[in-house]
Chains A and B, each alone.
Chain A
Amino acid sequence: MFRANHGTGKRTLALLLVSGMLAGLAAGCSQSSQQSSSTPSSSSQSSSTEPASGTPEPENEFAKYEPQEGKTYTIEWLGSHSNAPMPDDAEMKLYWEEKFNVKFNMWYIERSKWNELLNVRIAANEFPDIVKTDGPDTLRGYYDQDMVIELPKELLNHLAPKIYKNVEDVSRDEGIDAWTVTAIEGKNYGIPDFNENGRYVYTSIWRADWLKKVGIETVPKTLDEFEVAFQKFVNEDPDGNGKKDTYALSSGRVSEPFASIYGAFGYIPWYWSRTEDGGIAYGAVQPEMKDALALLNRWYTEGLLNPEFITGENRGGHWSISHDFIEGIIGYTNNGPFYVNAPPPAGGEKGGKMYAAFQAAHENDGAEIVVGQAPIGPDGKCGSIRWGVVTGGNLCFSKKLEEEPDKLGKILQIVETLNCDYDNYMKAFYGIEGKHYKLENGEKTSLIPDGTSSEEFGFGNPFIAFGGIFKFGQRWRPAYYEYAEQYATYSKNYSDALLVSLPSKSKYWDELDKMQKEVYIQIITGAKPVEYFDTFVENWMKDGGEILTAEANDWIQSTLS
């Protein structure tokens, strides 16, 4: 009796368990069978449309891209990274839907996990009709997965002539073929994206009160004048505390050390630069850098450099903030783009991030900032980091649109209307004037409640799909760009000229990069003599640099032809 009872109890339990697991298995199996049955049907759809396309006349070929009147398209849209998801009934979204007679399905992909999240959805065969990518490599990845549609330049010119013209203009201004960003195996697969702020170099700032204290009237311009000021900063007690506890400068941003000093010698070491003969060369191995390192080494031995320069000037917070500068350890910094150092009104109500942080820390002690420029070197060269207008980012479109060419046409028209016209651009990015923001003397104030994001009202990044150079900013905040033109002068040579990743990069780059960083620090601190630079160049070339340089030159030649 006891035994039997015991046994049945256990058996019931086992039965429960097993049946539960079977149910789980069944659910999994049925789903996978559904999945496999759905794939062939979609592929048969695409193959059935192929014969229809054939090889029609050129005009007819474009004709099929004309959007159909009165047809309401549903567009899966993934523009610039949004900070928050856009609700379906967001005010401005409804506005555009009515205006274009479409339905937008706005995708929200969290910024920090962009590729991870998007890749899962791509693997599940979901892809937006329009998507912005962060670089040529990402586009290439989509291409390899057969997700993106070819976009012939002639077609783009036909459907969105303003966009086409902008890309051509930028290519000419920058002296680099922007189409190279979206070119894969000789065909075009998207629209390159631009950054207007990328035109300008990082600005330099000085402690105005220190300069005055050591008897320098004008902000130093040339490298020699810089050196005089630097020596006085160290030796003449500019902070007046009776101790020799000040330095002239530190490295700036830790990943971009001494950019303005290297710039005076013509190169940014970690960028590829265009050479005079039309080729491309890596900055760090140019002979001019030997002179720059010799100078930095001398400054280091003379005590002008903050000995803690290796870890950079920033200690938390926004990366553009130099704590060494704010805390009065150094008197010169070149640590960020022009707008972070800009005083009001160019930098906004309180000035740029760095400017505002400095002012907050020095409310009543007479400490002042004066904006300067990167030093002019012995050969008249001058510059600092420049992000570059051609960012490598781009806009591409789903392969599924091959079945709906008219929809592709509609999307391109929408992108052009939204992004290439001042009024529409302002509406798409900032909302309606007087309702979502107000403009006074080039000062924009947001009128949406604190703690809400622009996406909830249907404007902001998501609708900004094509970042062309139309100088819209100059129209509503002229002070910002006047400041940029004055202090962060347009100088093409200081942005990275290499826009794609080289085929052998993964093989050699990590080692070369490590070698470069180590040797540069060793030479500056005197652990290796300046002459060691020649050995470094030799090693760098030998360990793969030569191959990479050749590949980079092949690429630049291919873009110029």
Chain B
Amino acid sequence: MDSVFHKRRHSGPPVSRTERVFDGVIVICTLIVSFSMLYPLLFVLGRSFSSPDTVNLSGMSVLPKKWSLVGYSFVLKSSFIWTGYLNTIVRTLLGTAIGLAVSIGYAYPLSKKNLPGRNVLTFMLILTMFASGGLVPEYILIKNLGLFDTIWSMVLPSAMKAFNVVIIRNFFMSIPEELDEAAEIDGCSAIGTLFNIILPVSTPIIATISLWMIVQHWNSWFDCLLYMRDPNRFVLQIVLRRIIFESSVEMTGAVSAEQQVSQEVVKYATIIVATAPILMVYPFIQKYFVKGIMMGSLKG
């Protein structure tokens, strides 16, 4: 926006009053939109630092009435929270890596128009988008494969999503074939072309798909509940759900008076604990979006 004003002031015609008002309105609108997007986040952040008794009484204000770390101490002191974090991170990294490898591995051949049996392979892929085996057969399959209580039960079933493959394939197809041919003339193998030529120009789509996979792995917990029996293998989301339940238990007597932290504060603190890492990762991935889009593969 700065540069826009800059240009106008020096080279453009003199800025009229109405134009300034117009710009002002735009700026105000943008501010309102960004505020309405930021507000819920700040609201939750503020509440998470609030003391239990005042958490519901602060009205619209973002700052808590009384500051307190009680919500965080409740969440971060809980058992299995750190193993949960570790499991989630391992699962996210491994799951995304496997997911990307499998999806790209399927998408690249499919993007070639002269692939034998291409239609059949595409059909088989698309079919999985509409007809899935269902939860029970999947459970039985995982059980009989002996994957209970292993990380593979969480990363393998979700490794290949037809939708992701189609998106990647479409991106590959939009890359000019001349690039492939040039590589082949230079003696590059099919695999070599993929790694040395295609992938480097596909960073935008890879960044997008990875982000989807990261978020999906980060948030999922139901599969873990189904396939994991050992609490040491539980992912963060399950641990956090348990903490929320525990903060809201009614008179089981198993909770001491000090532990009777208001459920609300714990909820807000939980939201921050669960989303902070993803929020922090996002700007770094966003960098690749921009870079990838700006880097044209064919110049001139």
Contacts and interface: CB of A to CB of B under 8 A. Distances in A.
Interface of A: 2, 5-7, 9-14, 16-18, 21, 27-28, 31, 34-35, 83-85, 87, 108, 110-113, 117, 120-121, 123-124, 197, 315-318, 321, 323, 326-327, 339, 348-350, 353, 356-357, 360-361, 429-430, 444-446, 449-454, 456, 459-461
A11 B78 CA distance: 55
A360 B70 CA distance: 15
Given A21-B124, A31-B145, A10 B112 contact: yes
A397 B7 CA distance: 80
Q: What's the dominant secondary structure at chain A's contact region?
A: helix
Nearest to B116: A14
Nearest to B117: A14
A9 B229 CA distance: 45
Nearest to B52: A360
B190 interface: yes
A429 B144 CA distance: 36
A446 B229 CA distance: 27
B257 A430 contact: no
Nearest to A320: B250
Interface stretch (B12-20, B87-95, B241-249, B289-297): B241-249
B78 A446 contact: no
Contact of A348 (B57, B229, B231, B257): B257
Nearest to A359: B53
Contact of A31 (B141, B231, B253): B141
Nearest to A85: B231
A337 B17 CA distance: 65
A2 B53 CA distance: 76
A360 B139 contact: no
B190 A13 contact: yes
Contacts of B106: 17
Interface in B90-117: 105-106, 108-109, 112, 114-117
A451 B74 contact: yes
A14 B234 CA distance: 38
Nearest to A452: B79
B139 A124 contact: yes
B242 A323 contact: no
Interface in B208-260: 222, 225-226, 229-231, 234, 238, 241-242, 245-246, 248-249, 251-260
Contacts of A18: 117, 121
5 contacts: A14-B121, A84-B231, A316-B264, A360-B52, A360-B53
Contact of B184 (A2, A121, A317, A449): A2
Nearest to A363: B53
A84 B255 CA distance: 13
Contacts of B238: 110
A74 to B, nearest CB: 15
B203 interface: no
A27 B56 CA distance: 54
Interface of B: 52-57, 73-74, 76-81, 105-106, 108-109, 112, 114-117, 121, 124, 135-136, 139-141, 143-145, 184-185, 189-190, 222, 225-226, 229-231, 234, 238, 241-242, 245-246, 248-249, 251-260, 262-264
Contacts of B53: 356-357, 360-361
A83 B139 contact: no
Given A120-B135, A316-B264, A445-B257, A85 B116 contact: no
Contacts of B77: 449-451
Contacts of B259: 446, 450
Q: Which 9 pairs from chain A and chain B are nearest by CB? A: A360-B53, A451-B77, A446-B256, A9-B190, A451-B78, A454-B254, A13-B109, A123-B136, A349-B257
B254 A430 contact: yes
A445 B189 contact: no
A356 B112 CA distance: 68
Given A124-B143, A450-B259, A452-B78, A110 B241 contact: yes
B229 to A, nearest CB: 7
A93 to B, nearest CB: 13
Contacts of B139: 120-121, 123-124
Contacts of B141: 27-28, 31
| Best-surrounded residue of B52, B76, B81, B251 (most CB of chain A within 10 A) | B251
B74 A430 contact: no
A378 to B, nearest CB: 35
B64 to A, nearest CB: 14
B190 A453 contact: no
B79 A453 contact: yes
Given A318-B263, A357-B53, A456 B79 contact: yes
A472 to B, nearest CB: 11
